[in-house]
Structure 1
């Protein structure tokens, strides 16, 4: 039987980043994953997730294929009695030049692949994993060609229907929303100025996120029946509809590439580990593309797992390490899942007290700079709302250091 220290199953963005991080930390790593189809969506990479990718050389490998996110704006477009004021979250208000970057998933996948190719102790096999056996002593993965490989640790990053999770008997709770996301990229007549705008509508968020040049990605959450009608419109009519949805803030738009639709739903597992097994990314949690949390949460899984494996180098799949990983990720996953779910449901809610509460929260953020800054720091790094942003984050995304940064970094690490 063949043997590796760590096997990562699943070649999506989170899985590949996890394998790359483990290999860069010196572990003999195998990435088992068929080549994924090209993904036309984009992802906003923020905070600690961006720092993790930067340390692995992925951000440099992206070159010019990324756009900074300097301002995030929320516009109440619900047309209801209690309308919240427009709120702008500016990275400069927390000492940063940008919150992070937005990048096409296909470009990010290529940058990850380039870094993988230059990493010596990482083997990639374009094969799916078909079997998994776990014990306290070791894990054994069976690939689709029948090869059995033993390992100290298996990382399941094989999606929300994870076969590895199912083989381990880890239960998950699934739910769906009465919504469909229309995802596409557009060119536009005016410069986006590194501003992302999220329009809150009665069917869900309509979000514009900058891409390089005069281009943006669009995530348009809509009623499923209406979504089907919209994607079947003639291109000229759809372009006009999109510009109207954005209130013409970027002028005329033209569709740039294919249009995709995704039914919205979420999932969460009862635990993120088993004997010699850790779950990462959508194998552990999934929710709608709202608030730029999905991939960022998966990358924070990866960063935490790599760090804890380094601290347990003699046995990276030990029971203690996995217990620490599960406990350490529980709060972040629970809070982000609940936050996205609450925001999405609040937009669909016709209940008047709920509308007032939502509008009041946004109004408070707009009027109270300390509350707004707390929300920005917490959105970038869990726990940073209380202790400030770590210096490592400022290093990677162009922040300005202050005299208290070193103290804040030490406090953040202790927490």
Structure 2
């Protein structure tokens, strides 16, 4: 068995959050290992990178390669399609009202990961191990990770970015709460006759949100259609023409004729949270620490805030002469990330459950909230700003230098 020593941090997981965390640390001169195979899933999923996430990726030197593959989200339209008696008029949110060119940019997940992976291979202080971790040992003296090819990697801190079924989380002993919804999301990429004009539209239906998000070119969009598990399975089994026709009807023909223009996926709707994202020489980020349904563009943006916040914590530990894997060094990170995840998770959970409830008081509360955001300017702007990036505790690289 051969060992690799001299790393301050080892990041396990080669998705967008893990790659971003490794890049953020290595660019500060921190000896970093990135462990994980590059295996993007072709399921038609995209990610709407909100403004704070774009600032972070730009600070990492990654955004220039991603930007040509991304479409700006200049407006957001919310349409109540529940049939409720308390149905409010459609709400329109415009990025320029809060001084932004766009709320964010939508990019195919596979393209995002490919761009970050190429940058990681060329970044000093970052060693890429294209192998999965099979075991880890953590104690007060340090941490050791065993790879599937029998190599070992030693570090002061392990960052768990190994996904919603995280083996690192499972071995940590941390308390976990998980749950599921009686829904699934159909995802794909569409071509359509009418231009999207950089507008993202979300229909709120009784089975969940139906969301169309712009992609580059003006006539392509990504779809996330949340519905009951059975209907989702039946819909995903349709041929391309029948599926496109169903989507066009649900979209009320707002983008004209449609055709399927990319891979498709069927995503289970589940949630997960941990009591704390920190254990002995371990910090969990992204879906290793929290899982949300694909609603409201919160999942990966929260994961990137985890990555940026971890970078701040490791730098602060270095400046104070602390061991970056100690609980004292990670305590502030743990508190801040737990609060952010709890607030975002509660908002997503409430919206989804309120649509499924079909109760007049719940419909009235949701409708009044949407109407208030549409008509009260200061409230609308405050909600938009908070949705793009929390004002309290925002990591340094998301605030801009």
Unaligned runs of 5+ residues in structure 1 are 396-408, 410-415
Counterpart in the other structure of 1:251: 256
Quote the offset at 1:16 in angstroms.
1.0
Structure 2 Cα separation of the partners of residues 391 and 361 of structure 1: 32
Task: Work out which of the residue numbers 59, 84, 88 in structure 2 matches 1:80.
Answer: 84
For 1:286-305, list aligned pairs within 5 A: 286-305=291-310
Quote the offset at 1:235 in angstroms.
2.3
Does 2:134 match 1:126?
Answer: no
Contact 2:308 2:397 in 1 (8 A): no
Does 2:152 match 1:148?
Answer: yes
Structure 1 Cα separation of the partners of residues 121 and 132 of structure 2: 19
Contact 2:163 2:288 in 1 (8 A): yes
Structure 1 Cα separation of the partners of residues 164 and 237 of structure 2: 29
**1:343-402 deviation per Cα after TM superposition (whole angstroms, max 9, x unaligned):** 000000122111110111001111101111010011111136xx9x9998687xxxxxxx
Does 2:47 match 1:30?
Answer: no
Task: Work out which of the residue numbers 367, 371, 374 in structure 1 matches 2:382.
Answer: 374
More displaced, 224-233 or 344-353?
A: 224-233
Counterpart in the other structure of 1:347: 355
Contact 1:61 1:114 in 2 (8 A): no
Counterpart in the other structure of 1:401: none
Does 2:23 match 1:15?
Answer: no
- In structure 2, relative to structure 1, the CA distance for the partners of 1:182 and 1:322 (3 Å cut) is same
More displaced, 276-285 or 47-56?
A: 47-56
Task: Work out which of the residue numbers 52, 56, 59 in structure 1 matches 2:56.
Answer: 52
Quote the offset at 1:80 in angstroms.
1.6
Structure 2 Cα separation of the partners of residues 142 and 207 of structure 1: 41
What is the TM-score when the length of structure 2 is the normalising length? 0.94
- In structure 2, relative to structure 1, the CA distance for the partners of 1:370 and 1:156 (3 Å cut) is same
For 1:317-328, list aligned pairs within 5 A: 317-328=325-336
The DSSP-based 3-state class of the residue aligned with 1:289 is coil
**1:125-160 deviation per Cα after TM superposition (whole angstroms, max 9, x unaligned):** 111111111112211111122222221110000011
Structure 2 Cα separation of the partners of residues 202 and 332 of structure 1: 28
Counterpart in the other structure of 1:70: 74
Counterpart in the other structure of 2:286: 281
**1:281-305 deviation per Cα after TM superposition (whole angstroms, max 9, x unaligned):** 1000001000000000000000000
Structure 2 Cα separation of the partners of residues 390 and 334 of structure 1: 17
Does 2:223 match 1:218?
Answer: yes
**1:140-184 deviation per Cα after TM superposition (whole angstroms, max 9, x unaligned):** 111122222221110000011111111121121110000010000
For 1:132-281, list aligned pairs within 5 A: 132-213=136-217, 214-281=219-286
C-alpha RMSD over aligned residues: 1.8
Structure 2 Cα separation of the partners of residues 154 and 9 of structure 1: 7
Does 2:92 match 1:92?
Answer: no
**1:201-258 deviation per Cα after TM superposition (whole angstroms, max 9, x unaligned):** 0000000000001100000001111112212223222212111111111111111022
Contact 1:132 1:168 in 2 (8 A): no
More displaced, 168-177 or 145-154?
A: 145-154
Structure 1 Cα separation of the partners of residues 395 and 150 of structure 2: 46
**1:257-315 deviation per Cα after TM superposition (whole angstroms, max 9, x unaligned):** 22210111010011100121100110000010000000000000000000111111243
- In structure 2, relative to structure 1, the CA distance for the partners of 1:383 and 1:351 (3 Å cut) is same
Task: Work out which of the residue numbers 336, 339, 359 in structure 1 matches 2:367.
Answer: 359
